[in-house]
Amino acid sequence: MSNFMLYARSFWGLILRDLRVLRREVAPFCARTLMNPFMFVFVFTYLFPKMGQGFQNSRGISFGTIILPGLVAVAIFVQGIMAVALPLSVEISSTREIEDRVMSPLPVTWVAIEKIIFSAFQSVIAAAVVFPLIYFIPATPVHVHVDSWPILIGTVILASLASGAVGLTIGTIVKPQNIGLMFGIVVVPITFFGCVYYPWALLYKVRWIQIAVLINPLVYMSEGLRTALTPETPHMPAWTTTLALLLCVLILGWIGIRGFIRRVVS
């Protein structure tokens, strides 16, 4: 058997193993996938309008329309991080399950890549979950249509891979006992400054923040999804978000894989 076929079968074996684990933990997976977007959709697009506190911009576009791409981006981002960082911290520290994985007939690099790819699969599911919520819960109409399927599919795939790379990086850098703290000091600020609740273009009034947030990968996820889903709102050009997300996948993936090799080999 050639090395390629051996690697392919081993890689697929790791995927199947993770799928089996995911089936056993389907309830926690559904809870973490649904809770965050459900709460945001319910509060901002149902509760606020019912209280007479609905938001519209100067063009009459409802807040639900503005926030949908950001909610999809947050669902992808949070799911990608949680699908890698939390299990990895357990596998490295307590269960030592990571030792079984690296003993498979695969280069250690490909074990790390499998974690990114499997987390990306979960992020795609999380993105798909948001759409039924935004259609059935809001009290005011949400005007969303797919303006470009290639941009939508490409953005979701790149955003999912980038989120998995972020999760791998965090899981190998942050100590297991600090993983919970990481969500408060890293994930929450990234979310609020990720152009989830507002387009990036509207930050021009606070120019230094508009420039500073460009290091945030969530910005490009949100803006890329605005291009595909709500082109009537201000958004970055598609080539900008695509290139930025591709660079995020490559750079963060490289950092995460290096950190993974350092942790498991040592």
Instruction: Please determine, for residue 30, whether its predicted confidence score (pLDDT) is greater than 70.
Output: yes
Give me the residues paired with residue 235 across strands: none
Closest alpha carbon to 18 in 83, 82, 85: 83
Confidence of residue 242 (pLDDT cuts 50, 70, 90): very high
Overall average pLDDT of the 213-232 stretch: 92
Question: What's the pLDDT score for residue 45?
Answer: 75
Q: Tell me: the pLDDT tens digits for 39-95?
A: 777 877 778 777 765 555 545 566 667 778 888 898 899 888 888 888 887 777 666
Distance CA(171)–CA(178), nearest Å, equals 10
Higher pLDDT, 222 or 91: 222
Higher pLDDT, 176 or 72: 72
DSSP secondary structure code for residue 159 in this structure: H
The separation between CA 20 and the C-alpha centre of its own chain, rounded to angstroms, equals: 22
Give me the residues paired with residue 37 across strands: none
Strand ranges (E), 17-154: none
Question: What's the pLDDT score for residue 133?
Answer: 81
What is the torsion angle, in degrees rounded to the nearest 10, for the CA atoms of residue 83, residue 180, residue 173 and residue 216? 70
Distance CA(192)–CA(188), nearest Å, equals 6
Angle between helices 63-93 and 238-265 (to 10 degrees): 10
Quickly tell me which residue has 């058997």 as its tokens: 1
Give me the residues paired with residue 62 across strands: 56
Q: 3-state class of 197 per DSSP?
A: coil
Distance CA(194)–CA(199), nearest Å, equals 9
Question: What's the pLDDT score for residue 197?
Answer: 84
Overall pTM surpassing 0.85 (yes/no): yes
Distance CA(262)–CA(247), nearest Å, equals 22
Q: 3-state class of 56 per DSSP?
A: strand
Distance CA(259)–CA(88), nearest Å, equals 12
Q: Tell me: the pLDDT tens digits for 142-155?
A: 677 787 889 999 99
- Of 22-36, 65-79, 137-151, 244-258, give the range with the top mean pLDDT: 244-258
Structure tokens at 222: 């949100």
Distance CA(77)–CA(236), nearest Å, equals 19
- Do residues 162 and 245 touch, judged by C-beta distance below 8 A? yes
Question: What's the pLDDT score for residue 91?
Answer: 74
